[in-house]
Structure 1
């Protein structure tokens, strides 16, 4: 079977593609693919690999040879699943590959923030320690994670891994129930209670109609003014205007974002333009350790192999 990868540049160039090449007859790689290029690059292929390239109903109807779409991510919103189902095109995704990478990112950021790593490094780099009157230069000090409460919003593979590491730091883990839930499941805490009590809130839930703008003015006002919010899930979970107002009005101490609602963001994005010292933004890299990326591509190869054998592995159609 012939396959085309429409946006291979979303992955590191150093990855090993051998598992993919073993399960297809030919694999064409394209760094990126513009909307007007999709048909030309896909028309002779039976398999399409796509991370973020949109495959809508109009496009799929013009690809009679297409048998399988491999989404090289967990989110499936870039493919018209209903149209694929009607056309008899199988669709797969992947999940679980980034739990270690995301959890490591979360705690790398938390440790840097509470240990004031950058400040202490700068004190030596800038020659301040060398002229100190005492052996220890406290600078901005440091604070321990032990004893702090962390609220986990979204308790799937990623959220549960963060919780496991948090417990190793002797933190109090608060697993949030769904907002506005009528009943609280065992081991969960009401969403509003988590928001009000947590020193740290870590977002790991999917973006749905119910979770878009979940963190808005009303929720920020519930939070501790000393709280830290970290988002490695989806940018649209947070209302940008309300977040910036909360930071500016001292309703929130810090926000660390690895995702925005538009990626890549425009140069004049409200959060980037703000240049707030209480706001840290990285370029959607929490998922992307070398190991996680390799695991993802190996899972995609497994999906292709399963499809060829008639098994419905990781099918979303």
Structure 2
């Protein structure tokens, strides 16, 4: 009988149906690093949303056969150790309809300067106005006719591109940074940065992509451009972005992810109190429909592995 342990069930706030094979199920709202081995001591299948599973953990878990990640990103699982130990890793894919919506929520809020207008109302500026409106600088910029640069050409990037085109935007998909060859329908990385009015990061965090947006890359962007990151926090240098915003090197930024989550040690971006910076706490993926799709895919991935037709394989 398979023994399944969900290390951090608390993050998935929708029902999970039971797998269709004999099993023993144990779940925890969350799990501290020092408790991972103890909780997986008898498990053959581990499910994790964000709890890290390291090489040190795996060395003490010889019975573990499958790690089912209840997310798309797998940078919190030691994939090399899994390969060495023969542990299969699967993830969920193309499940969140809400991420593209969140991306455009940030884009629209920044481009329409909504935070500054909201604050003007709270401070009574409209109530005291002699005219019928209150205009706050900078003037809102239209998306129609603007250029949308996307780094990360997966399902999410394609969905964001479709929304951008619906707004009348020109869409550029960036080639990998430093790539020697240009693939069809891709634009050189630096050219996308130089041309974009809006830059969206949606790629996974790898050794290749870590820190790919720093001071030099931000300097390539037009001063009126905004940056949105709903990929992974480690994709950009937070100190460099904070400086760029303070100096007006770019016009704004919207982030749903930070390098450290939760940011207990702080972040240069959290210290900024600016209407052209919006930070949300890694919630772009959350919606009723998205979570229902994720829950079904997690169980389907586990069933596929046990029944001999694995899917969404990472390792």
TM-superposed CA distance for 1:126, in Å, is 5.4
Aligned residue in 2 for 1:3? 4
Residues 1:94 and 1:230: Cα distance change in structure 2 (over 3 Å): same
Query: Post-superposition shift, 1:17?
Result: 1.3
1:44-123 to structure 2, matched below 5 A, reads: 44-98=42-96, 100-121=97-118
Specify the SS of the correspondent of 2:180: coil
Distance in 2 (CA, whole Å) between partners of 1:2 and 1:298 is: 19
- Whether the 8 Å CA contact 1:149–1:198 is kept in 2: the answer is yes
Q: 1:264-283 residue pairs with structure 2 within 5 A?
A: 264-283=262-281
Aligned to 1:17: 16
Map 1:126-141 to 2 at 5 A: 128-130=125-127, 132-139=129-136
Q: 1:180, 1:223 → 2: CA distance? A: 17
Give the SS at the match of 1:266.
Answer: coil
Aligned length: 313
Instruction: Pick closer, same or farther for the CA change 1:33–1:154 going to 2, 3 Å.
Output: same
Contact 1:153 1:176 in 2 (8 A): yes
How far apart, CA to CA, are the structure 2 residues paired with 1:130 and 1:220? 39
Conserved 8 A contact 2:16-2:299: no
What does the per-residue CA deviation read over 1:238-286, in whole Å, with 9 as the maximum and x for residues that have no partner?
1122112211221111111111111111253222123344322111111
RMSD: 2.2
Cα separation, partners in 2 of 1:41 and 1:184, compared to 1, 3 Å: same
Name the SS of the counterpart of 1:272 in structure 2.
coil
Aligned mates of 1:23, 1:153 — CA distance in 2:
40
1-side partners of 2:79 and 2:177: how far apart?
A: 27
TM-score of the aligned structures, taking structure 2 as reference length: 0.91
Please, which of 241, 244, 262 is the counterpart of residue 243 of structure 1? 241
The 8 Å contact of residues 47 and 66 in structure 1, kept in 2 or not, is answered as yes
Q: C-alpha separation between the residues in 2 aligned to 1:252 and 1:230?
A: 12
Q: Higher mean Cα deviation, 304-313 or 120-129?
A: 120-129
Structure 1 segments unaligned to the other structure (5+ residues): none
Task: Determine helix, strand or coil for the equivalent of 1:170.
Answer: coil
Contact 2:110 2:254 in 1 (8 A): no
Please state how far the C-alpha of 1:186 moved relative to its aligned partner: 2.4
* Closer/same/farther in 2, CA of residues 215 and 58 from structure 1, 3 Å limit: closer
Mean alpha-carbon deviation: is it higher for 2-11 or for 219-228?
Answer: 2-11
Structure 1's 80 and 125: CA in aligned 2 closer, same or farther, altered over 3 A?
closer
Q: Structure 2: where are the runs of 5+ without partners?
A: none
Scaled by the length of structure 1, the TM-score of the pair is: 0.90
